[in-house]
Amino acid sequence: MRRIGLVAWHVFKESVRDRVLYGIGAFALLLVAGAIAIGQLTAGQDVKIIKDLGLATIEIAGAVMTIFIGVGLVSREIERKSIFGLLAKPLPRWQFVIGKYFGLVLTIAVNVWMMALALWLVLAWVAWTSPESIRLSWSAPAVDPRLALVIAMITLELALLTAVALFFSTFSSSALVSVGLTVGVFVAGLLSTDLRHFGDMVVAPPLVLSLVAGIGWALPAFSEFDVKNQVVHGLPVPAGFVFHTVLYGVLYAVSVLGAAVFVFSRREFK
Amino acid sequence: MSHVVRTDGLTKDFATGFWRPRPHRGLDGLTLEIPAGGVFGLLGPNGAGKSTTLKLLLNLLRPTAGRAEILGYPPGDLRAHSRIGFLAENPVFYDYLTSEELLAYFAGLCGFSGAESRARATRTLDLVGIGADRRRPMRQYSKGMVQRVGLAQALIADAELVILDEPMSGLDPIGRKDVRDLIIKLRDEGRTIVFSSHILSDAELLCSSVGILAKGKLVASGSLTELTAGGARGWEVVASGVPDAFVARLSHRGVKTSRISEGRYTFELPVESSPEPFIAELAATGGQLVSVSGLRTTLEDVFMERVR
C-alpha cells in the first residue's frame, strides 16, 4: 500500500507543477467569472445561470484535465524511458498502475473542488449583494449545500474517466490515439442513455437496434452522474439513485482498472 | 552465489512490418554466465542485442525461447529486483521534480522510510557529483546531469548487482572519467557491475570479463585475460628521418610500414624477429629511433576479429 501511495503522491506533485494544469484551471475560473456577467444580463435568473455555467465549466475543465494528463500517465513514462528504472525497482506493475490512478484522481479532485470553492464564493457574493425580494424568488438558495452533491458526482464521473484514459494509456503508443479514444468514449458515454433507448427514437432493423443498445449498455454511462439540473432547479435527488450511481461508478472504474492492470502486466517495453 | 546472471538459449524475436508482421531475431540463443563480483562488459555494435539482453533480464521484455535467471530468481521476481539497480540508455526523468525528490521517491519504492529516503537521496547525489544542484527542477539539467541522476537512482538502494545500459552515453570526457571511477569504486565495494557499451576503450579499462554480441549472437565471452591471451604479436617501431630507399627495401622483407609524415614512419615487425638488428640497420641509414614497443592482442583486435 505504501508504494501505491508513493506513486500516487508523486503523480500529484508532478501534475500540480505542470503549467498545462494552471492553464486549464485559469480558463475555468475565467469562465466562472464570465458567468456573473452573463447572469447580470438576465434579470432574476442570474443565480441559476451562474450555477449552470459554473458547474458545466467545472465538469468540462475537469474532463479536459483528466484526458490530457490521464492519457500521458503511462505512455509518457515509456516515451521518457523513466519506466525502465521504475520497473527495475521492487514495484509490482499493478501497484504502479493503481498508484498512477489514485494520483491523478487526487489531482483532479483537488482542482475540481478548488473550482467549486471559487463558484461558491461567486454565488455567496451574488446572494450578499441581492435584495431579499430577489433572493425569495430563487428556486434554490444561492449558496446551496446540495451543490456539494453535484461536485461529488462530477468527481466520481471524472474518476471513471481517469480509469478509461489510463486504460488507453497502458497499451497505446501514441498520445494522440489515446486522446481520440478517450474523448470518443467520453462523448459516447454522455450519450449512452440515448443509445440504450435508440429503438424508441429510430425505426431500424432489430439487429441494428440491439447492437446500438448493446453499445449503450457497455459504454460507461457518464450522463448518469449529471444531477446539475435537479440541484440548480431545487428538485429532489433520491438517495437510492445516488447510491446506485456511486456503486455503478465504483464497479465500472474497478473493472476498467482491472483491464488496465491486465494489459500493463503483460506489456513489453522495446 | 557464484553467478549473478545465467541465461540458457535466451532468444527474442520482434515483429516488424505493419501489414504483415514478420519476426526479426533480436537475440539468438544466448547462453551466458556472469560471475559475481567484478565488472562484466556486454559489448557489441549497435543493434547487436545488448539492450535486448538487459531488458530480458529485467522482465521488460519476455523471451521467445530459452530462460534466464538473475540473482537466482527468474526475471521479474521482486526478491531479485530489491537487490538490483538499473540505468536505462539515455533516460529522461520528470521535468517538474528535483533530483532530490526523484531519488527520495525511488528510495521509498525500495522500501526505505521517508527520513532514510531523503538521507540516501542527498548522499547518492553527492556521490555522482550533483549534490549542489539537487533542489533544481530536472528540466534545467544538462544531458550529462540527467545521466548522473540516472546513475544515482540505480545506486540508491546499495544494489549488489548494478546494470548500466550505455552508462557513458552523453557524457563529456570528465563525466566519462567520473563514471569510470565510480564503477571501479562500486567494484571495490564488492558489487557486480554489468554494463553494455560499444566503446571498447572503456571496457578494456574496466572489465574483468566480457561477452561480445554480434547480430544477436554471442560471438565471444570470457575473462579479458583469456580473450586477449596469446600475448605479444610483434613489435612497433616509430622512427623519423628515414630514407625512402630504406622503406622500399623493407617492403620486400614483410615488414608492415605506415607513413606518419615526411620521413616519419611506423614499422610493425613480426613477433619472431628481434627489434635490435632492425634498430641498428635503421641507425646505419641515418634514421632516428623515436620509440619501440611490444604489440599485444587487445580487446579491439578480438572484437574486430569476431564481429566482422
Please report the pLDDT score of residue A35 as a whole number.
Answer: 67
Contact by Cβ (8 Å): B174, B201: no
Residue B253 CB coordination number (10 Å) = 10
Cβ–Cβ of B61/A268 closer than 8 Å?
A: yes
- For residue B114, give how far its alpha carbon lies from the nearest alpha carbon of chain A (Å): 10
- Hey, which residues 199-228 in chain B have their CB within 8 Å of chain A? none
Contact by Cβ (8 Å): A129, A94: no
Q: What is the three-state SS of chain A?
A: CHHHHHHHHHHHHHHHCCHHHHHHHHHHHHHHHHHHHHHHHCCCCHHHHHHHHHHHHHHHHHHHHHHHHHCHHHHHHHHHCHHHHHHCCCCCHHHHHHHHHHHHHHHHHHHHHHHHHHHHHHHHHHHHHCCHHHHHHCCCCCCCCCHHHHHHHHHHHHHHHHHHHHHHHHHCCCHHHHHHHHHHHHHHHHCHHHHHCHHHHCCCCHHHHHHHHHHHHHCCCHHHHCCHHHHHCCCCCCHHHHHHHHHHHHHHHHHHHHHHHHHHHHCCCC
Residue B120, classified by CB atoms within 10 Å of its CB into exposed (0-12), middle (13-18) or buried (19+), is buried
- For B275, the 3-state DSSP assignment is helix
- For residue B102, give how far its alpha carbon lies from the nearest alpha carbon of chain A (Å): 9
Identify the band that residue A249 occupies on the pLDDT scale cut at 50, 70 and 90. very high
Q: ipTM score here?
A: 0.80
Tell whether the model's pLDDT for residue B230 goes beyond 70: no
B39 vs B205, residue with greater confidence:
B39
Cβ contacts of B93 on chain A, cutoff 8 Å: 80, 82
**Residue partners of B69: CB distance under 8 A and separation at least 6:** B5, B6, B7
Identify the band that residue A132 occupies on the pLDDT scale cut at 50, 70 and 90. confident
- Among A30-39, B167-176, B187-196, the range scoring the smallest mean pLDDT is A30-39
Identify the band that residue B269 occupies on the pLDDT scale cut at 50, 70 and 90. confident
Average pLDDT, stretch A92-107? Answer: 94
pTM: predicted TM-score of the whole model, two decimal places: 0.83
Phi, psi (deg, nearest 5) at residue B62: -115, 140
pLDDT tens digits, residue range A5-36?
999 999 898 888 776 667 667 776 777 677 66
- Among A41-45, B203-207, B233-237, the range scoring the smallest mean pLDDT is A41-45
Q: In what order do the strands lie in the sheet containing B288-296?
A: B256-261, B264-269, B232-240, B288-296
Cβ contacts of B153 on chain A, cutoff 8 Å: 85
pLDDT tens digits, residue range B49-70?
999 999 999 999 999 999 999 9
**For A14, which residue in chain B has the nearest alpha carbon?**
B96
Tell me the percentage of chain B whose pLDDT exceeds 90.
38
**Residue partners of A91: CB distance under 8 A and separation at least 6:** A3, A7, B78, B81, B109
Please report the pLDDT score of residue A39 as a whole number.
Answer: 63
Does residue B110 belong to the interface with chain A, where contact is any CB pair within 8 Å? yes
B34 vs A124, residue with greater confidence:
B34
Please report the pLDDT score of residue A98 as a whole number.
Answer: 95
Cβ contacts of A270 on chain B, cutoff 8 Å: 14, 55, 61
Average pLDDT, stretch B66-75? Answer: 94
Cβ contacts of B78 on chain A, cutoff 8 Å: 90-92
Average pLDDT, stretch A210-225? Answer: 87
Chain A with chain B: Cβ pairs closer than 8 A: 84
- Among A20-29, A238-247, A260-269, B209-218, the range scoring the smallest mean pLDDT is A20-29
Average pLDDT, stretch B82-97? Answer: 87
Identify the band that residue B179 occupies on the pLDDT scale cut at 50, 70 and 90. confident
Tell me the percentage of chain B whose pLDDT exceeds 70.
98
Of B81, B96, B153, the CB nearest to A14: B96
Cβ contacts of B59 on chain A, cutoff 8 Å: 87
Please report the pLDDT score of residue A19 as a whole number.
Answer: 66
Tell whether the model's pLDDT for residue A141 goes beyond 80: no
Phi, psi (deg, nearest 5) at residue B276: -60, -50
Tell whether the model's pLDDT for residue A155 goes beyond 90: yes
Does residue B106 belong to the interface with chain A, where contact is any CB pair within 8 Å? yes
Residue B17, classified by CB atoms within 10 Å of its CB into exposed (0-12), middle (13-18) or buried (19+), is exposed
> How far is it, in rounded angstroms, from Cα B239 to Cα B131?
50
Average pLDDT, stretch B116-120? Answer: 93
Tell whether the model's pLDDT for residue A163 goes beyond 90: yes
Cβ contacts of B94 on chain A, cutoff 8 Å: 10, 14, 82
Please report the pLDDT score of residue B197 as a whole number.
Answer: 87
- For residue A191, give how far its alpha carbon lies from the nearest alpha carbon of chain B (Å): 34
Tell whether the model's pLDDT for residue A77 goes beyond 70: yes
